[in-house]
Amino acid sequence: MIAIWNNPEWVRHRRAILRPATAIAVVAVSWLLCALTAYVADSKTMIGVVILAHMIGLPLWVGSTCGNSIMHERAFQTFDFWRTTRLTAGELVAGQLCGVPLMGILAVGSTIPIALLSIGIEVNPLNLALIYVMLALFCVTVGTGSLVFSMGATPFRGSRVLTWLIGLYLVSSIVAFANGTGMGFGLSVMTPYPFLGDMLGSEARVVNFSASNFSVSQSTVLFGVMPVPSFLLGIALNLSFSGWFILMLSRNIKKERDELRLLSRWQAVGFAVFITLLFHALGISSRPEHSPAASIIQQSLFFLNVLVLYLIGIITLTPAERLRMWWQQWSSGQASYLHEDGFPWPWVVVTTVCLAGTAYLSAALCGWSSPTVLWNLSLVAIFAMRDITFLQWCQCQNFKRPLFTGALYLGLYYFAVQLLAISVPELHSVLAPPMVGHLEPIQPIVTFAVQGLIAGGLLQLLSMQLKEPARSISPSSSDTPQPPMPT
């Protein structure tokens, strides 16, 4: 592994971004803003504003710059030169992560001395250092996650990065409502914000720091019965998410968009278990009957299971060429049905079993169970198998954007089902997956039968298409049809 200061990717960004005039301007503007803040208010307010700007501005800058980096390489048609270097995937990721947001890093680094002045107003130096350690870890998580999104984005879809940042904020805020039920700060422990304390002073000041403002002694309760230090939990979560993102990048950063496979299928199942176990640990109370938000928490966790199930199904979709190669090998007995390039529906079943086991384990730790949730999850699985099989069929068509086209058709289907359910409510449970609520005894059997037949029909249609030989789509100078290409 090349040292970061010798990494050619980092050196390239340093020379392009931090030219002498640019670097001087960034430092001068940063100090000028600090001086204006001190002139308008006072030195204590200036220190607080600087620290708050570090905590909020740096993650946003890292996310926005990293989210556009790989996309810009494709837009400027330098991606092929960039990915054919002798640098390993890890060295490319390190160069991007530390090089692309250099301007924001310089702005924060130049104003660190002002943040250190907070030690003179009774802020614990160790707590201040730990806050910045958490900030660095959170920026790594945001940066690697943004690189993953940038890796699959097109030059005309930069809004996906903003969507990702907003989604991360919303998820953190939604899960943080557990604080109101006595279960800690949720996913917000990954950020430095819960450890800053109350930022508003009692005398209408903008920021008022005291010795109690920085606290790393808080605790978060996991599964409603296991209190752990929030700071250590935040470090573990940042390292875990960063590890998953780096794994995705190391597998795909040198590939074209149509060749991306974020995770292997067993890795995808492991990622699903990790996400589900994490949210169950943060969202389940040991006494749900005494929690005013118990029903909302359980519904949110079930909805999360549905999202994870569909996400893993989409991750396990196979490109058409590789699926045809697997079909040929499987037909001749040279590959297994659970091969990496096989049909995705068996992995939806595996993921469902793992999610059900995770839900049962977390419920057992808390001393309660909900059979209805497991029934609903099994029903969602049959819908997910049907929808993922349909998306895989779209992947094998000559659509320009097969995944988008398939998702559009599925959206139209569910919209039509919602309209139909207004006049015939009984059909909703048969034609759409359950979100929450109790099931009648006959509904699971009818739903399994109907949706199983539809999923089987789609699988048969996909198999028949794979049996047909691939045809050439190259232009011909004559009107004579091209013979089929051998498969």
DSSP string covering 127-174: HHHHHHHHHHHHHHHHHHHHHHHHHH--TT-THHHHHHHHHHHHHHHH
Q: Taking 80 as the threshold, does the pLDDT of residue 132 lie above it?
A: yes
Better pLDDT: 54 or 340: 54
pLDDT above 70: percentage of residues in the chain: 78
Q: Taking 50 as the threshold, does the pLDDT of residue 278 lie above it?
A: yes
Pairing of strands 219-222, 226-229: antiparallel
Crossing angle, helix 125-152 and helix 230-252, to 10 degrees? 30
pLDDT for the residue numbered 293: 55
Alpha-carbon 376 to chain mean position: 24
Report yes or no on 159 lying in a domain: no
Better pLDDT: 361 or 486: 361
Q: How many CB atoms lie within 10 A of CB 43?
A: 14
Q: Give the separation between CA 245 and CA 189, rounded to whole angstroms.
A: 19
- For residue 263, give the nearest of 335, 205, 347, 191 by alpha carbon: 347
- Mean pLDDT over 409-433 rounds to 84
Amino acid at 467: K
Amino acid at 92: L
pLDDT for the residue numbered 104: 92
Residue 144 burial (C-beta neighbours within 10 Å; 0-12, 13-18, 19+): buried
Q: Give the separation between CA 381 and CA 123, rounded to whole angstroms.
A: 52
Residue 412 burial (C-beta neighbours within 10 Å; 0-12, 13-18, 19+): exposed
pLDDT above 90: percentage of residues in the chain: 16
- Mean pLDDT over 402-419 rounds to 87
Report yes or no on 77 lying in a domain: no
- For residue 148, give the nearest of 59, 238, 255 by alpha carbon: 255
Q: Give the separation between CA 17 and CA 44, rounded to whole angstroms.
A: 32
Window from 237-241, 311-315, 350-354, 396-400 with minimum mean pLDDT: 396-400
pTM of the complete model: 0.79
Q: Give the separation between CA 7 and CA 92, rounded to whole angstroms.
A: 8
Q: What is the mean pLDDT of the chain?
A: 78
Which residues are bridge partners to 226 per DSSP?
Answer: 222
Label residue 122 by pLDDT band (50, 70, 90): confident
Q: How many residues does the chain have?
A: 487
Q: Give the separation between CA 160 and CA 178, rounded to whole angstroms.
A: 28
Q: How many CB atoms lie within 10 A of CB 180?
A: 10
- The answer to whether 340 and 267 have CB atoms below 8 angstroms apart is no
Report yes or no on 328 lying in a domain: yes
- Mean pLDDT over 464-483 rounds to 57
- For residue 346, give the nearest of 390, 373, 313, 378 by alpha carbon: 313
pLDDT for the residue numbered 286: 44
Better pLDDT: 12 or 75: 12
* Half-sphere exposure at residue 121, Cβ-oriented, CA atoms within 13 angstroms: 19
pLDDT for the residue numbered 243: 94
Using only the alpha carbons of the chain, give its radius of gyration: 26
Q: Taking 60 as the threshold, does the pLDDT of residue 302 lie above it?
A: yes
Q: Taking 90 as the threshold, does the pLDDT of residue 404 lie above it?
A: no
Label residue 133 by pLDDT band (50, 70, 90): very high
Give the CA distances from residue 190 to residues 96, 224, 297, 411, in Å, rounded to whole numbers and listed in that order: 22, 19, 20, 34
pLDDT for the residue numbered 59: 92
Q: Taking 50 as the threshold, does the pLDDT of residue 182 lie above it?
A: no
Those residues with Cβ within 8 angstroms of residue 178's Cβ, 6 or more apart along the chain or in another chain = 184, 185, 186, 282, 283, 297
Q: Specify the DSSP element, H or E, that contains 219.
A: strand 219-222
- The answer to whether 85 and 8 have CB atoms below 8 angstroms apart is yes
Which residues are bridge partners to 222 per DSSP?
Answer: 226
pLDDT for the residue numbered 296: 66
What are the tokens at 288?
A: 């749900």
Crossing angle, helix 102-110 and helix 20-40, to 10 degrees? 50
- Mean pLDDT over 317-321 rounds to 84
Report yes or no on 355 lying in a domain: yes
Q: Taking 70 as the threshold, does the pLDDT of residue 178 lie above it?
A: no
Amino acid at 308: V
Better pLDDT: 2 or 356: 356
Q: Taking 70 as the threshold, does the pLDDT of residue 284 lie above it?
A: no
Window from 130-139, 161-170, 297-306 with minimum mean pLDDT: 161-170
Q: Give the separation between CA 112 and CA 175, rounded to whole angstroms.
A: 31
Look-up of token digits 């109907």: 450
pLDDT for the residue numbered 24: 93
Report yes or no on 226 lying in a domain: no
Q: How many CB atoms lie within 10 A of CB 464?
A: 9
Those residues with Cβ within 8 angstroms of residue 241's Cβ, 6 or more apart along the chain or in another chain = 141, 144, 145, 190
Alpha-carbon 75 to chain mean position: 24
Domains in the chain, number: 1
Task: Tell me the residue range of the domain where 392 lies.
Answer: 261-468
- Mean pLDDT over 232-237 rounds to 90
pLDDT for the residue numbered 476: 41
Q: Give the separation between CA 315 and CA 435, rounded to whole angstroms.
A: 22
Summarised one tens digit per residue, pLDDT across range 353-392 is 888 888 777 777 766 666 666 777 888 888 999 999 999 9
pLDDT for the residue numbered 21: 92
Better pLDDT: 236 or 298: 236
- Mean pLDDT over 153-169 rounds to 52
Q: Give the separation between CA 392 and CA 122, rounded to whole angstroms.
A: 60
- Mean pLDDT over 120-125 rounds to 79
- The answer to whether 327 and 466 have CB atoms below 8 angstroms apart is yes
Report yes or no on 274 lying in a domain: yes
Report yes or no on 410 lying in a domain: yes
Q: Taking 80 as the threshold, does the pLDDT of residue 18 lie above it?
A: yes
pLDDT for the residue numbered 368: 62
Summarised one tens digit per residue, pLDDT across range 188-230 is 788 888 777 643 333 334 444 443 445 566 777 777 777 888 8
Q: Give the separation between CA 279 and CA 239, rounded to whole angstroms.
A: 16
Report yes or no on 222 lying in a domain: no
- Mean pLDDT over 248-252 rounds to 90
φ and ψ at 285, to 5 degrees? Answer: -100, 145
- Mean pLDDT over 279-307 rounds to 66
pLDDT for the residue numbered 31: 92
